[in-house]
Amino acid sequence: MDFIFQNLAFFINIFVGVPALGFFFSLIIPERKEFALSVVGFVTSLTTLLSAIVFVGFWAAQGFQSINLKEVVLYQSKEYSFLIDLYFDRVTAVYLMVGAFLTFLITAFSRFYMHREKGFKRFFNTILFFFLGYNITIFSGNFETLFIGWEILGLSSFLLIAFYRERYLPVRNAMRVFSIYRIGDVGVLLAMWGSHHLWDANITFSQLENHSAVHQHVVGHSAAAIFISLMIVLAAAVKSAQLPFSSWLARAMEGPTPSSAIFYGSLSVHFGAFLLMRTYPFWSEQPIIRILIIILGLVTALVASPIARIQSSIKSKVAYASIVQIGIIFIEIALGLEMLALVHFAGNAFMRTYQLLVSPSVVAYRIREQFYHYEKRTQPIVGTYWKKWEYTIYQLSLREFKLDHILNKYVFNNIKKIGQFLSFITLKNGFWVFGTIYLIGVALFFNKGTIDPLLLDYLPETFSFIGLVMVFRAFGERKSPLLAWTLLMTNNFWSLLATTFLGELSIKELGFYLSGVVILGLAGYAILLILQKKEKNHFTLNTYYGHVYQHPRIAFLFLISCMGVMGFPITPTFIGEDLLFSHIQENQIFLAVFNALAYIIGGISVVRIYARLFLGPHCKTYHSTALKAS
């Protein structure tokens, strides 16, 4: 029995290893070899599906026992451990089977649907990249592993929505979705930071199954527990398009139909529900959080339902209909009905995938039906009291309850205004003024013993806030990509300086953090200089220039640089970010928020630089210009 169980635990590696191999093979296959690319995607998804069927069968025969597999310790110190932890239980089993089957279905469908499409290789690269992130997320055994998959899902979403990168609206909507996703990333980051201090360890999800230990920590640290739970709810609401973040799902439908089906109709949009189910043993101890989730799901379902009914686009109609069902799933999870929620997830995922895949045929049929069987309204509009309410709801639904307007007005526009207010910070005066302040900060660090303890307590927040100011300035920059890039790089050094006052950072920790930021940051700066030399008249952040059309290799290299600067898990900087957060104490909530906001808004700014310079309709008139939307 133990031998079989150990083999099952080892078998889990296949579900991460096979998609990773498929993704890397797809990268090296030339673009012109469509058949080889489609075979790699097909074989990868089929192998995963067959392995999942065999694995789940043997696992069920052993009595549905949860499996926790501590994989690799990437960093270990006296106070902190960063490890990749894999976990398998009933929730993972359902998500694995549904995800493997639908990915297999989509890859088989896309081999013919995407035939001779200009971005055929990019499509399969991104689908396999998404599948890798999906499996990492559902098998994650702790917040660190989950955040790796979470970040992969966010970037692959951006790339698939902007698949038709020569068009304006797909690129614009991709940026909108990525920006909202980053709000959810704040929740995961702060929940990760809070859990470190609540448990004084890198807590795993399997340890949350210990009811007595969880109850003891929640009762003894109620404020911290509520904070962590609120951050989890925030991340879940964003990822599953619950209010007030519902509008992004319809915008995400600008991508190809197969990607819309697998991402926003079935799999990716249900990750908020997955996060709630995975952390249920923790937040279920707090009745106020359960009530909040029920209210959130109920209000979302009530608002999204009339919006879905009046949508003129079939993709948008399916998107809002899916949001309604996910709102109900949230209620089921909060009520402790896990099995019902899992069945509901599987049913909703299969149904929305089917609806989106047949949507082109349905549209053609409906247009034909209206053309031949149109009937004019015969009954006059009656202005009764209830009809007025009905028309009011109709008008609000038509405007999608102004959800986009609310996010723009109260979130992104305010960040933009702050950045524009800071427009006096230029490359020249910023270097002298803030460079001098930074040197003073370094001098203060080496003379900490002579500083008043009261002043010393405020220095970390001060330096972290200056770094956040750099990020706000970069976000609001509309002229110089070089200035915006430089400001984003300097933010990392301000965060590092703020953290050094909290405790002694080792050389190894400094190396982990600076490796990706410095190397790929300088590489990105060099790439911008090359692009400026080649396209000196089309090198600002005022509009989309579409330089990927003429400079695809430069665009790819700059995307890699962006990933390094934003702390994406391709360099040790990703671990370094978590190391910095591990040094922030429980009572330094402002420092944690400043660092998290800088990390998130900085990521949006980095991707915005890439999108503005390389995506969108090409700026030169002698190239063909695509329509704004598909």
| pLDDT tens digits along 142-181 | 888 888 888 888 888 888 888 888 888 888 888 888 888 8
- Confidence (pLDDT) at 383: 63
Q: pLDDT (tens digit, 9 = 90+) per residue, 378-435?
A: 666 666 777 777 777 777 777 777 777 777 777 778 888 888 888 888 777 777 788 8
At 576, is the secondary structure helix, strand, or coil? helix
- Which residue intervals of 81-221 are DSSP H helices? 90-113, 120-138, 143-161, 168-199, 211-220
Q: How far from 291 is each of 279, 294, 342, CA to CA, in Å?
A: 16, 5, 20
- CA atoms within 13 A of residue 416's CA, in its CB half-sphere: 10
Neighbours of 521 (CB within 10 A): 23
- Confidence (pLDDT) at 305: 85
Sign of CA dihedral 385, 391, 395, 401: positive
- Confidence (pLDDT) at 1: 47
Angle between helices 2-28 and 120-138 in degrees, nearest 10 = 160
Sorted by where each begins, the domain ranges of the chain are 2-365, 422-614
Residue 425 zone, left/alpha/beta (φ > 0; ψ -120 to 50; rest) = beta
- Confidence (pLDDT) at 363: 63
- Confidence (pLDDT) at 183: 85
Q: Which residue has the tokens 């089957």?
A: 101
The DSSP-derived string for 359-404 is HHHHHHHHHHHHHHH-----SPPP--HHHHHHHHHHHHHHTGGGHH
Residue from 143, 153, 145, 20 nearest 84 by CA: 145
33: Cα separation from own chain's centroid: 31
Low-confidence ranges of the chain (pLDDT < 50): 1
Q: Which residues contact 488 (CB under 8 A, 6 or more apart)?
A: 470, 471, 474, 565, 602, 605, 606
How big is the chain, counted in residues?
A: 630
- Confidence (pLDDT) at 341: 92
pTM confidence score: 0.89
